[in-house]
Amino acid sequence: MRVLHVVKTSDGASWAANQAAVLVSSGVEVHVALPRAEGRTVEAWRQAGTTIHIVDLSLPVRHPGQFATVARNAKRLVDEVHPDLIHSHFVTTTLTLRLALGRRHKVPRVFQVAGPLHLEHWHSLRMDLLTAGPPDYWVGSSRCVNEHYSHAGVPKSRLFLSYYGLRMEALAVERKFYLHRRMGIDAHTSLVGNVNIMYPPKYLLGQKIGLKCHEDVIDALGMIIRASPNVRGVLIGDSYGLGRWYEERLQQRARKVAGGNILLPGLFSQPEVAQIWPDFDCAVHVPLSENCGGVVEPLLAGVPVVASSVGGIPEVVIEGVTGRLIPVHSPKALARVVLEVLADLDHHRQIALTGRTLVKHMFDANRTGTEIYEVYLHILSGAVRPWDFDSQAYTRRLASGLEARSPAVATNVL
């Protein structure tokens, strides 16, 4: 089996490279189209055993005059690779392939949907549905994503579920106070915060705050620090080239709200991020829109998590079972629940350990990569359709002391 993967970045989408490594080990000949020969994840694709093609197949939204060239490149690559199946991981690459190859191209196409953002706006959802044809299938990376497609009329026979997998061995689970030393903070001080890209508000979509709600987190941290002076806020990340002005605005807000007690140290390297999660006493992730991101890594480190009840997050953070949930855009609720967590850390750390058991299975790259391989076999040869993983059922079985890996936890959508 030969499969062509298409991504829009050479710096991100490590989850797609993780998946490719499992597919290669399963005997799939994986080719991948990357936009640049240099980038943070290029080596991961190389180590996965894929054949790399340097070609940018993102839809040139800001430069529509370049589409003819992009379309020719897409056709040329497909003719060269001659894949049995095409697997795209982003909206813009998916639209390019559909428009360039046509709605009735002979090669099956899988769009693995990384998150619900484009499904939450009628124009981008409509573009997704209108460009799809008989060869097109969708793999939602959360039940939330699949619910959007089901409500839009996509038949279940063309819709699959598979969470993106992580390589977990590099993530630290033992607290060594690395972050405290790095930030010059006493080891007895409690740390609350997160690691996120600082996305500026999209004013054309009516957003008044950034996608990851850093403004709400800063305001909540101000309330928390006033109530519990031994707490410091640490918000790691940068604007990823999207707007230095937004980072500066957040820094000003943090100084106004809590003086020097909310730290925004900028971007950390991936090895550093893997080491610092156990140093948090509570991780907070309260975006406007999200799939399952931002909560998996802290739970793997056994850190209590407070998150907003949006997108696929409630599939991971189950209220009172694996973490705590609050309504979106609720700084007061965030402050209140974080203070509850800090007041009873032993209890919430036990909850986080249940979350750790869940995510170790739910996002295991070997499990999810094998799931994708089974999706391919179903599409290409009519093999048995893979089961849909059910996190609620999994945690119920954990609580009852039964073997949670049994197929009985899954719910077949057929």
pLDDT tens per residue across span 348-362: 999 999 999 999 999
- Percent pLDDT > 70 in the chain is 96
Q: In this model, does residue 239 exceed pLDDT 90?
A: no
Query: 306 near 133, Cβ under 8 Å?
Result: no
| pLDDT number for residue 411 | 35
pLDDT band at 402 (very low <50, low <70, confident <90, very high): low
> In the numeric block, which tokens belong to residue 367?
């499990």
| pLDDT number for residue 405 | 47
C-alpha distances (whole Å) from 341 to each of 229, 317, 358 are 15, 14, 20
53, β-bridge pairs: 33
Q: 5: closest CA among 62, 60, 48, 61?
A: 48
pLDDT band at 409 (very low <50, low <70, confident <90, very high): very low
Question: Domains plus CATH for the chain?
Answer: 2-167+364-383 (3.40.50.2000), 178-361 (3.40.50.2000)
3-state secondary structure of 120: helix
* 87-91, 169-173, 204-208, 209-213: which is most confident: 87-91
| pLDDT number for residue 274 | 87
pLDDT tens per residue across span 156-205: 999 999 999 988 776 778 899 999 999 999 999 999 999 999 999 888 77
pLDDT tens per residue across span 125-136: 999 999 999 999
Query: 104 near 78, Cβ under 8 Å?
Result: no
The pTM assigned to this predicted structure is 0.89
Q: 89: closest CA among 143, 151, 10, 29?
A: 10
Average of pLDDT values for 117-121?
92
| pLDDT number for residue 408 | 39
Q: What is the DSSP code (8-state) at residue 82?
A: -
pLDDT band at 105 (very low <50, low <70, confident <90, very high): very high
| pLDDT number for residue 301 | 94
pLDDT band at 412 (very low <50, low <70, confident <90, very high): very low
pLDDT tens per residue across span 5-53: 999 999 889 999 999 999 999 999 999 999 999 998 999 999 999 999 9
Average of pLDDT values for 398-404?
68
- Percent pLDDT > 90 in the chain is 85
Q: In this model, does residue 399 exceed pLDDT 90?
A: no
| pLDDT number for residue 269 | 86
Average pLDDT over all residues of the chain: 93
pLDDT tens per residue across span 273-315: 889 999 999 999 999 999 999 999 999 999 999 999 999 999 9
Residue type, 404: A
Rounded-to-integer distance, Cα 273 and Cα 201, Å? 25
Please, what is the angle between helix 365-381 and helix 14-25, to 10°? 70
Q: 164: closest CA among 119, 116, 118, 114?
A: 114
pLDDT band at 140 (very low <50, low <70, confident <90, very high): very high
